[in-house]
Structure 1
Amino acid sequence: MKVVRTLVAAGGDNAIDLLSKHVPELSKGRLKDAMSKGAVLLSGKPQKRLRRAQTALQAGQQLQLHYDDDLLQRQCADAVLISDQQQYSVWFKPAGMLSQGNEWGDHLSLMRFAEQHFAAKRQVFLLHRLDREASGLVLLAHTKTAAAALSKLIAEHKISKQYHIRVKGQLSDSLLQQGDIGLPLDGKPCLTRFNLLQYDAEQQQSWLSIALITGRKHQIRRHFEAAGHPVMGDPQYGKGNKDAAGLALQAVSLTFTCPLQRKAVSFNLPPSLLLFSGMA
């Protein structure tokens, strides 16, 4: 069931009563669950998620409900804190978890998971995204100063990100020697560099190490589909690459010079979380 509704409060309304009155097809229990999972937005500058059912509303305030029973019932594995640097932290985002929520909720998002982990005692700023189907390292900031400094590094391409992917087929010698794909995407130049980690002759699949020189949307997935070697388990790009294990794309390391500590840092996924066991 999907329900999308915009409601305007009269004087003296509280959130759950307003929702219950105007959305009779959903029980109060379901509405409270939707609120707790971030599916109710309160108008204002900025707009925010309203989670507390008994919140008193001022006349004229608007609530937006985006209820999707299927989405609200979904679950995924927990994120894992890899390194806490106080002003920023590095997390393992599992496959199936969003980097951040949307109007339909945020209970399956890394940002919400981090907020709850720190018991809302720290701000959480998302600095970059990782596709929902992918897993791996994501950097979060906890102060505006850290967010600005680290965002500047990202914009200047000064954070080195390494990925592992498993693709369909065996890459030709000429493609391996070339070692990069420079196909423009969305009318913009971009470059993906790679090298072979291992070829599985039995499965006819190749493990590759990837370095993104640019960061266009779905760049790795689109580049390797165009090269004739789609990423295994990709639900959107490629043919003949279905895999019940899911998308074989993982962000495995982040390396940069920390602008706060003024020293080189490197964060790597522990062997227990790596998809490519050959690196364990």
Structure 2
Amino acid sequence: MIETNDSSLEVQVGVTSSEQNPLELLADESGLSKQKIKEAMTKGAVWLSQSKNKKGSARPVRRKNSKLREGDQLYLYYNPDILAEKVTEPKLVADEGDYSVWDKPYGVWAQGSKWGDHCSIGRLVEKYFDYNRQSYIVHRLDRAASGLMIVAHNKKAAAALSHLFAKREVEKIYIARIKGRLPEPEMTVSEAIDGKPAKSHIKELTVEKDESLLEVSIETGRKHQIRKHLSGIGCPIIGDRLYGNATEGDIDLQLKAAKLMFKCPISGENRYYSLVS
């Protein structure tokens, strides 16, 4: 058992009998109440590595009476602050059967972590469908950003959609709001990010008082690319706590994935999704 300075707790316990259950094992080992362990399980903070799995990979285990085998390993990653987090539910934009399209709010993660997945888009989508569909994440969107995300519901669709994004065959348009104005009404920023080529095309849409609304399309998908590029030219996005002057308590990041366009790899039809008129 490992305790950290931020009240987090990491527990690993070996299963010695198939008669044992994860709830009791982890409660005994951690000293936490069964109610807290149950909450952690529900929210994806309890993991199981099965002895029969030679690769040793672990998966979340959510049911208190999940079947265990001798030699299995249970892991608890308990952080009360993470488990207490709450986010706004994503909104369904389109249900295409093999995949669905969502308007992700600020604060929702593209993926969960070992500390929990209850605030991730995948888990929230599964909850929306009463856990009757699996979720596969095929692309990312910053936690601080909002807007369109695609979630696949089977492995075939996930592989096909992931391939589209990897080959840059999905056109993505973002809307950003900044203080002031761009150096030019329309421009391209090609500054490398983390030593890798990156290109963003930026166009001024409207100017209201001391703020500008921008349309941004990207040819590459580097981490925080739009935020870094706009900050790099002296135009950080409003609400940006990493690359701007915003602080906790200020307005949320004003960056939205507003449009997605691609040829559906399942039906062959052209798809267009938009959050703006």
TM over 0.5: yes
Structure 2 SS opposite 1:266: strand
1:225 to 231, 235, 251: 231
After superposition, where does 1:167-206 map in structure 2 within 5 Å?
167-173=178-184, 176-177=185-186, 179-201=187-209, 204-206=210-212
Q: Counterparts of 1:65 and 1:266 in 2: how far apart (Å)?
A: 42
Residues 136 and 252 of structure 1 are in contact (CA less than 8 Å); yes or no, is this contact kept in structure 2?
yes
Structure 2 SS opposite 1:115: helix
Structure 2 SS opposite 1:150: helix
> Deviation string for 1:124-147 (max 9, x for gaps)?
211101111111000111122222
Residues 162 and 209 of structure 1 are in contact (CA less than 8 Å); yes or no, is this contact kept in structure 2?
yes
Deviation at 1:205, TM superposition (A): 2.3
Task: Specify the alignment match of 1:276 in structure 2.
Answer: none
> Deviation string for 1:90-123 (max 9, x for gaps)?
0111111111111110111110011122233323
1:258 aligns with 2:269: no
User: Which is helix-richer, 1 or 2?
Assistant: 1
Q: Counterparts of 1:40 and 1:243 in 2: how far apart (Å)?
A: 32
Query: Which amino acid letter does the alignment assign opposite residue 234 of structure 1?
Result: D
Deviation at 1:7, TM superposition (A): 1.4
Q: Counterparts of 1:242 and 1:167 in 2: how far apart (Å)?
A: 18
Structure 2 SS opposite 1:100: coil
Residues 234 and 242 of structure 1 are in contact (CA less than 8 Å); yes or no, is this contact kept in structure 2?
no
Deviation at 1:162, TM superposition (A): 0.7
Unpaired runs of at least 5, structure 2:
1-6
Structure 2 SS opposite 1:145: helix
Residues 240 and 246 of structure 2 are in contact (CA less than 8 Å); yes or no, is this contact kept in structure 1?
no
Residues 139 and 149 of structure 2 are in contact (CA less than 8 Å); yes or no, is this contact kept in structure 1?
yes
Q: Counterparts of 2:43 and 2:155 in 1: how far apart (Å)?
A: 25
Q: Counterparts of 2:232 and 2:39 in 1: how far apart (Å)?
A: 43
Task: Specify the alignment match of 1:23 in structure 2.
Answer: 30
Q: Counterparts of 2:142 and 2:159 in 1: how far apart (Å)?
A: 23
Q: Counterparts of 1:162 and 1:50 in 2: how far apart (Å)?
A: 38
Deviation at 1:152, TM superposition (A): 1.6
Query: Which amino acid letter does the alignment assign opposite residue 231 of structure 2?
Result: E
1:159 aligns with 2:170: yes
Q: Counterparts of 2:212 and 2:79 in 1: how far apart (Å)?
A: 38
> Deviation string for 1:217-271 (max 9, x for gaps)?
11001111111111111121123687722111111110011122112110112x5
Q: Counterparts of 2:60 and 2:124 in 1: how far apart (Å)?
A: 15
Residues 230 and 241 of structure 1 are in contact (CA less than 8 Å); yes or no, is this contact kept in structure 2?
no
Unpaired runs of at least 5, structure 1:
272-278
Task: Specify the alignment match of 2:10 in structure 1.
Answer: 4
Query: Which amino acid letter does the alignment assign opposite residue 14 of structure 1?
Result: N
Cα gap change, 1:69 to 1:243, in 2 (>3 Å): closer
Cα gap change, 1:98 to 1:76, in 2 (>3 Å): same
Residues 106 and 143 of structure 2 are in contact (CA less than 8 Å); yes or no, is this contact kept in structure 1?
yes
Residues 79 and 113 of structure 1 are in contact (CA less than 8 Å); yes or no, is this contact kept in structure 2?
yes
Q: Counterparts of 2:247 and 2:112 in 1: how far apart (Å)?
A: 28
Query: Which amino acid letter does the alignment assign opposite residue 217 of structure 1?
Result: K
Task: Specify the alignment match of 1:54 in structure 2.
Answer: 65
Structure 1 SS opposite 2:63: coil
1:108 aligns with 2:128: no
Task: Specify the alignment match of 1:36 in structure 2.
Answer: 42
TM-score of the two chains, using structure 1 as the length reference:
0.90
Residues 2 and 66 of structure 1 are in contact (CA less than 8 Å); yes or no, is this contact kept in structure 2?
yes
Deviation at 1:82, TM superposition (A): 0.6
1:268 aligns with 2:274: yes
Cα gap change, 1:241 to 1:16, in 2 (>3 Å): closer
Q: Counterparts of 1:37 and 1:242 in 2: how far apart (Å)?
A: 26
Residues 233 and 243 of structure 1 are in contact (CA less than 8 Å); yes or no, is this contact kept in structure 2?
no
Cα gap change, 1:234 to 1:218, in 2 (>3 Å): same
Task: Specify the alignment match of 2:3 in structure 1.
Answer: none
1:117 aligns with 2:128: yes
Query: Which amino acid letter does the alignment assign opposite residue 13 of structure 2?
Result: L
Residues 239 and 246 of structure 2 are in contact (CA less than 8 Å); yes or no, is this contact kept in structure 1?
no
Kindly tell me the number of residue pairs found equivalent between the two proteins: 265
